[in-house]
Amino acid sequence: MKLHEITLTVNGTRETVSVPAGMTLLELLREKLYLTGPKEGCGAGECGACTVLLDGRPVTSCLVLAVETDGKEVRTIEGEATDGQLSTLQQAFIDAGAIQCGFCTPGMVMSARALLERNPHPSDAEITEAIAGNLCRCTGYESIIAAVRLAAERGEK
């Protein structure tokens, strides 16, 4: 099978890897770079558990080919905390009780992260729209919306 050499920046670090064309960004992150934060919940772009930021925009990484990310910047949940310090957004998730089983959490935080970067003071409707592509079966979403609201209030950017 033909391999393509690509170079991408992941959470600030340049990575050069050889990948087959059919490998998804999600598979690259989880299997080759051992970043198991982004999860596979469906493999078809419907559940959002695989959400990462590609050049700053949230995408379902299960539907992005690794080869499409050559020269691009990817951010995952693993890059959210700095030097072991939780971000304001992560702390807000904890304080608002917005975490239960935790499987949707990495993708959910990334969607929220992208939202706060493009809109530091979102309304509840805007928060809802931003996370509507992230399925959660445990929380019923109220506390997640509250967490993002809280993070915005606390000045997360």
Partner 1 sequence: MSATRYVGQSVPREDAIPKVTGTAMFVHDMSFPDMLHAVTLKSPHAAARIVSIDTPAARALPGVRAILTGDDLPYRLGLYVQDKLILARGRVRYQGEPVVAIAADTLEIARAACDLVAIQYETEDPVLDPREAMKSGARLVHPDLHTYSYMKGVFAPKPHTNVAHQQKIRKGDIEAGLASSDVVVQGRFYNPPAPHVPLETHAVIAHALPDDHMEIYTSAQSPYTVRNLLCLSFDLPHANVRVHVPYIGGGFGGKAGIQLEPLAYCLSKAAGGRPVKIVATREEEFGTLPSRQGLHTNITLGATNEGKIKALKVKYVWDADAYADYGVNVGRAGAYAGAGPYNVPNCHIDSFVVYTNKVFGTAYRGFGHLEVMWGVERAMEIAAHKLDMDPYEFRMKNVLRTGDTTITGEVITPGHGRPDKCLQAVAQSLDWGKKDTPVSPNKVCGKGIAALHKAPAMPTYTSCSAIIKLNEDGSADILISGVDMGQGTYTALRQIAADELKLQIEKVHVTWECDTAFSPYDWQTVASRFTFMGGNAVIEASRDALRQIKEVAGIALHSAPEHIACENGEAHVDNHPEVHVPYEKLALGYTFENGNSVGGPIIGRGRYIAHGLTNLDLETGQGLPAQFWTYGAQGVEVEVDTRTGEIEIVNMVTALDAGKVINPVLAREQVIGGVVQGLGSTLFEGLLFDDEGHLLNGSFTDHKIPTAKDIPRHTEQIFIETPQPDGPYGARGIAEHPMISVPSAVANALYNALGIDFNTLPLTSERIYRAIHKKRTDQ
Partner 2 sequence: MIGVFDYVRVSSVEEGCALIAAHNGGAVALAGGTDLLVNIRNTGRSPDLLVDFKDVAKMNQLVTDETVGVKIGTCVPLNVIADNKVINEHYRALAEAARSVGSYQVRNRATLGGNIANASPAADTAPALLVLNASVSVAGKDGTRKIPIRELFTEVKKTSLRIGEVITDITLPPVGPRPRSAFIKKQRVKGHDLAIINMAGYYDPDTRLLRMAIGSCAVTPILLPEINLSGHEPIDGLVKRLNAIAQNAISPIDDIRASAEYRRGLVLVLLHDLLSMLLGAEGGADEAT
Q: Could you give the CA distance from residue 51 to residue 109 in angstroms, rounded to a whole number?
A: 9
Helix axes 124-131 and 105-118, enclosed angle (nearest 10):
130
Least separation in angstroms between residue 20's CB and partner 1 is 9
Give the binding range for partner 2 (CB under 8 A) out of 14-22, 83-91, 95-103, 149-157.
14-22
Output the CA angle 94-49-14, nearest 5 degrees: 90
- Judged by CB under 8 A, does residue 88 bind partner 1? no
Q: Could you give the CA distance from residue 33 to residue 7 in angstroms, rounded to a whole number?
A: 13
Please report, as residue ranges, which positions from 44 to 103 form the binding site for partner 2 (by CB under 8 A). Answer: 44-46, 48, 51, 54, 57-60, 62-65, 67-68, 70
- Pick from 7, 101, 123, 157 the residue near partner 1 by CB under 8 A: 101
List, in order, residues 6 or more apart from 32 with CB less than 8 Å away.
Answer: 17, 19
Q: Could you list the residues that contact partner 2 (CB under 8 A)? A: 1-2, 4, 20-24, 27, 43-46, 48, 51, 54, 57-60, 62-65, 67-68, 70, 111, 129-130, 132-134
